[in-house]
Amino acid sequence: MSDAGDRYERLPMVSAESFFGCELRAGTILECVPNAKARKPAYVLTIDFGPCGLRTSSGQFTRLYRADELVGRQIVGVLNFPPRNIAGIESQCLVLGFDSPEGVVLLTPERTVGNGERVF
């Protein structure tokens, strides 16, 4: 078996029901300000998820993105995780991204979609 096949077999398996139980939705960042209480540089985001409402999140996206360039940008977030207190902010959604050596790269739709549209 190839090395790629070995890596595939070592990944933990989840059911389709588990995946589709996650509310992955598109949203547009309306506001982005520094999170002054965070130990590591972070932003507080206000995100419009359309019919799913406005949500707040805190994220460490400061290495690759300036606050002003995040406003108006679409992202993908998980809406049905329990809220968490992160550096004094009630984080109401998890903004998705990729870890890279340069910093977190945000997961974004390839084209503009409606706020609240579901990933499937």
Tokens of 73: 């940008």
The sign of the torsion formed by the CA atoms of 7, 99, 25, 87 equals positive
Q: What is the pLDDT of residues 51-95, one digit of tens each?
A: 999 999 999 999 999 999 999 999 999 999 999 999 999 999 999
Tell me: pLDDT of 1 over 90.
Answer: no
* Angstrom distance (rounded) from CA 94 to CA 72: 18
Q: Find the angle CA(59)-CA(52)-CA(35) to the nearest 5 degrees.
A: 20
pTM of the predicted protein model: 0.89
Domain boundaries, the chain: 23-106
DSSP state of 107: P
Tell which CATH classification among 3.20.20.140, 2.40.50.140, 1.10.8.50, 3.40.50.1370 matches the domain 23-106: 2.40.50.140
Mean pLDDT (the chain) is 93
Residue 118 · residue 84 · CB < 8 Å: no
